[in-house]
């Protein structure tokens, strides 16, 4: 997998031996991550933007393996919460799960409170990859305040772009493994029988990947989230990444864009002035 014009390659180490555990992020105050990050070569604090189905989640996983920053998805918090016994769900969480099933956004206050409860995840030693947050200008402003208070500047915002027809096709055909959570498309012959080719688990369709919910999610994206493109462009943080092609090709573009992006902390001797590769 090539990165730069000079032919240097992206190696994908498995961060700390175990990729993507994120217990503290998924479960909130009750949990700590079993593996603490190793001191990173370079801290990356990134936001991933893009319409639903554009492949942000897959890119976040790959970028996590590439740089060790923790993949923090607000959608994953809600999906993890769905597994809680009803007695452990707060009213705000119950109503959030209803919004999610319909493809609507969860109210800003609920999402911002959830992220605030997980502030220590934003201090993760290797940085973070925020996926699905912020999704509105109010959330972006709240994030800016939280990060400023903790002196954790964002490095860049990766905006993944793909045309709407391709997105709708991907979402409607998306199936998720109930056991290992891996994601497949119905067009993939290995997944056609509804059985996970990796672990034998049952594949299912996310309730918000049904056509009615997809329409709501796309409209919501254009109305609420697309304005963030301008918001981050004005702050000099926006990197636009075409999201067609294979996940590896998209990762390659992401890494090339990050390498070409001036690093806000390069003047800081304790920061990440020295770039590897
Ligand atoms: P997608 O595949 O649409 O990008 P996610 O997995 O990020 O979806 O989120 C699934 C659902 O969770 C959203 O449709 C929304 O209902 C809710 N959600 C997740 N993050 C947020 C957020 N930052 N603000 C409001 N709602 C959110
Ligand atoms: Zn599986």
Its pTM stands at: 0.80
Distance 134 CA to ligand 1 centre (A): 10
Tens-digit pLDDT profile for residues 235-266: 999 999 999 998 899 999 999 999 999 776 65
Query: What residue segments make up the domains of the chain, in order of their start?
Result: 2-162+237-260
Mean pLDDT, range 13-40, rounded to an integer: 62
Question: Which residues form the pocket of ligand 1, taking CB atoms under 6 Å from any ligand atom?
Answer: 52, 73-75, 78, 99-100, 103-106, 111, 132-133, 135, 139, 208, 217
Residue 8: the pLDDT is: 44
Is the predicted pLDDT of residue 174 greater than 90, yes or no? yes
Is the predicted pLDDT of residue 22 greater than 90, yes or no? no
Distance 195 CA to ligand 2 centre (A): 8
Residue nearest to atom 16 of ligand 1 (CA): 100
Is the predicted pLDDT of residue 35 greater than 70, yes or no? no
Quick check: is 206 catalytic? Answer: yes
* Ligand 1 nearest-atom number relative to CA 221: 3
Residue 33: the pLDDT is: 74
Is the predicted pLDDT of residue 5 greater than 80, yes or no? no
Mean pLDDT, range 18-38, rounded to an integer: 68
Q: Please, which residues have CB less than 5 A from ligand 2, an ion?
A: 177, 179-180, 182, 196, 198-199, 201
Quick check: is 102 catalytic? Answer: no
Tens-digit pLDDT profile for residues 194-213: 999 999 999 999 988 998 88
SS (H, E, C) the chain: CECCCCCCECCCCCHHHCCCCCHHHHHHHHCCCCCCCCCCCCCEEEEEEECCCCCHHHHHHHHHHHHCCEEEEHHHHHHHHHCCCHHHCCHHHHHHHHHHHHCCCCCHHHHHHHHHHCHHHHCCCCEEEEECCCCCHHHHHHHHHHHHHCCCCCCEEEEEECCHHHHHHHHHCEEEECCCCCEEECCCHHHCCCECCCCCCEEECCHHHCHHHHHHHHHHHHHHHCHHHHHHHHCCCEEEEECCCCHHHHHHHHHHHHHHCCCCCCCCCCCCCCCCC
Does domain 2-162+237-260 correspond to CATH entry 3.40.50?
Answer: yes
Ligand nearest to the backbone CA of 101: 1
Mean of the per-residue pLDDT values of the chain: 85
């Amino acid at each position: 997998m090539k990165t730069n014009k000079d032919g240097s390659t992206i190696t994908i180490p498995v961060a700390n031996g175990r990729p993507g555990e994120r217990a503290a992020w998924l479960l909130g105050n009750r949990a700590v991550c079993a593996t603490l990050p190793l001191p990173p070569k370079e801290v990356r604090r990134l936001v991933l933007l893009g319409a639903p189905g554009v492949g942000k989640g897959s890119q976040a996983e790959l970028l996590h393996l590439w740089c060790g920053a923790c993949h923090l998805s607000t959608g994953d918090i809600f999906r993890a919460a769905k597994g809680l016994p009803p007695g452990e769900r707060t009213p705000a969480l119950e109503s959030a799960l209803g919004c999610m099933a319909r493809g609507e956004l969860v109210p800003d206050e609920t999402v911002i409170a959830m992220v605030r409860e997980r502030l220590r995840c934003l201090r993760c030693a290797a940085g973070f990859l925020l996926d699905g947050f912020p999704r509105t200008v109010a959330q972006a402003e709240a994030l800016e305040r939280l990060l400023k208070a903790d002196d954790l500047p964002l490095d860049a915002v990766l905006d993944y772009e793909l045309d709407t027809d391709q997105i709708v096709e991907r979402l409607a055909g998306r199936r998720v493994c109930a056991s290992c959570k891996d994601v497949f498309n119905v067009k993939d012959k290995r997944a056609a029988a509804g059985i996970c080719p990796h672990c034998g688990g049952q594949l299912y369709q996310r309730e918000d990947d049904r056509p009615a919910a997809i329409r709501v999610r796309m409209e919501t994206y254009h109305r609420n989230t697309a304005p963030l493109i301008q918001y981050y462009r004005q702050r000099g943080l926006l990197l636009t990444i075409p999201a067609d092609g294979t996940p590896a090709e998209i990762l390659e573009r992401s890494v090339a864009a990050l390498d070409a992006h001036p690093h806000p902390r390069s003047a800081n001797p304790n920061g990440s002035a020295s770039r590897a590769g």
